[in-house]
Amino acid sequence: MAIPITVPRLGWNMEQGIFAGWLKADGAAVRAGESLFTLESEKATQDIEGFDDGVLHIAPDGPRQGDIVPVGAIIGFVLEPGEAIPALTSPAAAPPKKEMLAATERVPATQGPRRTEPASSPRARRTAAKLGVDWRHAKGTGQTGRIRERDVLALTAPAGSTRRIIAERMLASQRSTAPVTLMTTVDATALVKLRKQWKVVSDLIPTFTDLLVKLAASAIEKHPLLNSRWENDRVVASGGVHIGIAVDTEAGLLVPVLRDVSTLSLKDLAAQTRDLIERARQRKLSANEMQGGTFTVTSLGAFGIDAFTPIINYPECAILGIGRIRRCPVVVDDAIVIRDQVTLSLTFDHRIADGAPAARFLQTLSVLIEKAEFV
C-alpha cells in the first residue's frame, strides 16, 4: 500500500513552510526513522523523518527547493518494492482537508539576463519567495553587495510574515488567557556583587538573565502552580521546569527553551543560554528547541526599560519580565544608602492562578534575589 509523505506541522499555528530539499534520492530504499527531506518553518529548519520502510517515490511535479508548501500537502510516497506509483491528484491520494490541496507557490522566475541580477544567498531567495517580495529590490549588505536574508526582511518591515506570525500568537494569547501583571522592585545588590565575583574566577560569566532564570526555577519549585498550563479546560501540572528565554533576532522574537533548569549548574545554564541565543540569531534552532516550555523569562533591561507588561507565552501560565538594574537611593535601617535595584513584572493567567499565589511566587523570588544564594 502506498504511504503518502506529507508536510508536517512544526508549530502549533504553522500553516505552511519552505521546502528545503530532499535528503534521499527518488527510488532509494528508506527505513522508518530516516530523514527524508528538510522543511523550514517561520522560525526553524528541521529534517523530517519517515515512519515506514519501503522505496521512496518523489512526485515529479512536487515542490522544488525554496517552494512554499502548505501543511498536509502530499509531496511523495513510500512504496513497497514493485508497487505501482499512485497519482497525486487521485481521490485516494488526495488529503481530505481543502487547505492540503493548495498549490505550492514557486519562487518568482528570473527576468532579464542572469548577468544583470545582483548576487544573493539561497536563504535570501527562499525568504523572498515566502514573503512574496522581489529579492532583487533589496539593498545588499553582504560582501560585494550580496543580498542576504536580513536585506529581504528589511523590504517587508514592519509587515513581513514573521511579524504577522508573532502578531497572531500574541493575539491568540490575549484571547485565550486572563492576563494579570504584578510588579515589584527588588534589591539586587548581592546579585551584582556575585556576578562581579564570577568575572574574577571564570571566563564564562553568567548574565543577569542567567542568574534570574536559575533563581526563578528555584522559586517555581516552591510554587509549581506557576509552572502549569491550561489544557482541555483544566489546569495541567508540568513534569519539569523548562524555561523559555525571549531572544530578539532580525527575524523577530524567538523563544528557545532551557530544559530541566533546576538540575543545571549555573555554569552549564550560562553555556546553554549562549549556545541557544547564538543559534537563534543565526536561525539554526530546530522546532523542538522552541517547544515544551513551561515558563518564560524576558528581559528589556539592556534597553533601559524599568518595568513592562509581558504577554504570556500561551499555553503557559506565566512569564517574568526583567527590567534594568539601576543604582538608586533607598532607605535601609533608617539610613539612605545607594543600592542596586531591579523591577520584576510577572504576567500570569488568572484562570490558573489567583493573585495571592502569584504574589507569593514573586515574594519567594525576591528573597532569593536579595540573598543571591545558588545551590
Respond yes or no: is residue 350 known to be catalytic: yes
Element (H, E) at 236: strand 234-236
The DSSP output letter for 209 is: H
Q: Which of 47, 61, 134, 354 is catalytic?
A: 354
Is the separation of the CB atoms in 226 and 129 below 8 Å? no
Amino acid letter, residue 225: L
Residue 172 Cα distances to 167, 176, 230, 313, angstroms: 8, 6, 14, 10
Per DSSP bridges, beta strands 295-299 and 243-245 are: parallel
Q: Which three cell numbers stand for residue 354?
A: 489567583
Q: Which three cell numbers stand for residue 367?
A: 528573597
Provide DSSP, 283-337.
T---GGGGS--SEEEEE-GGGT-----PPP-TTBSEEEEE---EEEEEEETTEEE
Which amino acid, residue 111? Q
Bridge partner list, 58: 76
- Looking at the DSSP assignment, which residues form a beta bridge with residue 3? 78
Q: Tell me whether the omega of the peptide bond preceding residue 315 falls within 30 degrees of 0, making it cis.
A: yes
Angle at 206 (CA atoms; ends 200, 207), nearest 5 degrees = 115
Is 248 in a helix, a strand, or coil?
A: strand
- Which positions are annotated as active-site residues? 350, 354
